[in-house]
Every structure is written in C-alpha cells, then in structure tokens.
Structure 1
Amino acid sequence: MSDGMIDKRLLRRRMMALRDAMPASARIEASLAIADHADAALHFEPGTVIGGFLPIGSEIDARPLMARLQDRGARLALPCIVAGDLVFRELVRGAPLVPQGFGTHGPGEDAPDLNPTLLLVPLLAFDRRGGRIGYGKGFYDRAIARLAPVETWGLAFDVQEVPAVPMTAGDRFLDRIVRESGVLDPSASASG
C-alpha cells in the first residue's frame, strides 16, 4: 500500500473523530448556516437536476438546503447504489425511501434515474484547492467522472478543512465548498 493510501486512511479516521466530536446542536446550526450560504450562491434555472444526499452519522444535514432548492424549482435526486456504483434517482416529496446501504436511504427502483448537472457532495476532509476525501470507496469520484460535465459543490463543516488532501489520479476536485463560514471558490484560492 502506498504512503498516500495510508495517509488517506489515517486522515479519514482523524476527520471522522473531529466531526463526531462536534455537539449535535453545533452540527445543526452549521448545517443551517451552510444552507443559507449555498442557497444564496447557487444560481440555476427551474427544472435543473441537482443531486443531494441524506446525512450518514455526523455528516452535514443537506436536507434544509435541498428543501430550499426544491422550493426554487430544482428537481432533486438522491444517490442510490446500483451494481456497485451511484445512480441518482428523483426525490419526490412524500415518496417512500428505501435502505441504500452505508446507513442511508434513497428513492426505490420505481423512481426515475436522473443525471444531475449540479451535485452536492458529502466529504470527510477538504482543502483550499478543492481536494476532497470521502469514505474511500470511490463512489462519488466515479459518479462525477460519469456525469461530466457536472458542477460539484462540497458541503462540509469548517473543522473538516486540512492543509492538503492527498490526491490520486482517480480523485476529482470540487468546484466549490460551502462551510458554515461561507463559500470557498478553490480556483480563487489557488490564484490568490
């Protein structure tokens, strides 16, 4: 195993512990602040397909943001694991959700598959270049590559920022990162 892979495993454990240590009330407040920042910064036409996610464990709760986006006319889709990869199925208010593995739920097989043009991405750690580290299965990296061109917005708590995420050839950089302290534009950070 390469040093980069060992670094990623250690970084995942460290960042999960940091996130888990946040009091539930702090995670709720931060999730609401992130919803405010993202809602103000996201510009899209009604009918745009936006991929969201439901929280796993101590992840940011994107549901307040997704509700706002849906109220603004977005068609929402949630990730579902199909044949070892992520597909995005339409999320309709009131429709039942079924277990998808990894402690999350998503629309059932009867929901239409959609291809988001904007994707809200969960993560464990991020850096100012737009590097991200997830849980290590590569689901989002493969989905981003398959959906390209897709605009990616990582949602994270400020405590999840690190100086540099170890990146490998298959890893995808994020276009924006939204934290409770505001929106980070990696291209502006890299040039400034």
Structure 2
Amino acid sequence: MSGIAEQKAAARKAAFARRKDVHDELRGARAAQVLLEVLRPQAGRVVSGYMPIRTEASPLPAMLGMIGLSSVTVPVIQGEGLPLIFREWRPDSAMIDGPFGALVPADGDFLAPQVLIVPLLAFDRRGYRLGYGGGYYDRTLQALRASGPVLAIGFAYAAQEMAEVPTEDTDQPLDMVVTEAGALALAG
C-alpha cells in the first residue's frame, strides 16, 4: 500500500469512529435543517441527495423540503471506475437495493444534477473530503464541472472535521460543508 493509501486508510478508520459517536447522539436533525436553508436558494436547479447508509447524516428531510421546488435525484453506481449517474427520486419512489447497501429508485428519469449533497467520512477547511475510497464522487464532480457550474455541498457532523484530509491529484474539492453547526464556506 502506498503512503497516501495508508494515510487515507488510517484516516477512514478514525473518521468512522468519530462519525459513529456523534451520529448516535445527534441523528442529523439540526444539520438537515441547515442544509434545507442552504438548498432553498437553489430552487429550480436539479439537486442530488443520497440515501444514507451506516452512520451518515441523513439529508432526507432536506430532500423532502426541496420536492416541488426542484427535481431531486439520488446517485446510482454504474460500475467500478465510472462516474455516478442520477435518477429522479420522490418520496413515493419504489426503491431497490444498490451497491454498498444504498437504496436507489427502481425507475425514473436520469438527470444531471447542478447541486450535489455529498456524503463523507471527514472533511477539512480546504474543501477536501474523505470518502469510502471508490472515487465515485471525485470522478462525478470532475465530469459535471467540465460541463458547467456545479455546487458540491458536503453534508456531515461538525465532529467529522479534521485538520487536513490526505489528498491525491484526482480528489475534487467541495464548495461548502453543512453541519449541525452551520454552513462552512471553504478555502478551496
């Protein structure tokens, strides 16, 4: 394992533990309210949320709050090494199991999001995030940004912040992070 891979693996292990500790206490309710306040000015743009897994902060209340204001999508993994695609989601969408235990809509239109709510294990003030290691969001953000402006919003608990996320050239920065403590504009 290379030096950066070892650093990321160690950071992931520590980040999982920190997130679990605060998730059990907070459950993300305040963070979701802050997220909705950030999303409302984006009405009319296609928004991508996600179906939370493990101890991820749940964006579902904010996603529900955007129904009727924007098209809301969730990511679908096409395959290893490929960017994500996004299927329209509604509260009554029939859901099926996707990779990694995340639910995905069984049907619906595929849309290109302009605003992405991005799950993460850890983040830093430079705008970098630590994900699960598959590179799906990095490839996706790179592709979407090549086509036009995209707002990437990390969604997490404040305790998931770390001094510096180990990065590689392929890592794509976030534009902001939303936590229960508020919205953070990032240096990146």
Q: 1:111 to 1:23 in 2, by over 3 A?
A: closer
Relative to its length, the structure with more strand (as a share) is: 1
Give the match for residue 73 of structure 2: 77
Point out 4+ residue stretches in structure 1 off by more than 4 angstroms: none
* One-letter amino acid matched to 2:94: P
Give the match for residue 67 of structure 1: 64
Give the match for residue 27 of structure 1: 26
Q: Confirm whether residue 138 of structure 1 aligns to residue 145 of structure 2.
A: no
When the two structures are superposed, what TM-score results if normalisation uses the length of structure 1? 0.89
Give the match for residue 111 of structure 1: 108
Q: Confirm whether residue 129 of structure 1 aligns to residue 110 of structure 2.
A: no
Q: Any idea what the Cα deviations from partners look like across 1:1-30, whole Å, max 9, x if unmatched?
A: 321111100000111011122353x232xx
Classify the secondary structure of the residue corresponding to 1:74: coil
Q: 1:183 to 1:15 in 2, by over 3 A?
A: same
Q: Distance in 1 between matches of 2:102 and 2:37?
A: 27
Classify the secondary structure of the residue corresponding to 1:68: helix
Q: Distance in 1 between matches of 2:133 and 2:122?
A: 12
Q: Distance in 2 between matches of 1:146 and 1:113?
A: 16
Q: 1:62 to 1:6 in 2, by over 3 A?
A: same
Say what the alpha-carbon RMSD is for the aligned residues.
1.4
Q: Distance in 2 between matches of 1:40 and 1:93?
A: 20
Count how many residue pairs are aligned between Structure 1 and Structure 2: 182
When the two structures are superposed, what TM-score results if normalisation uses the length of structure 2? 0.91
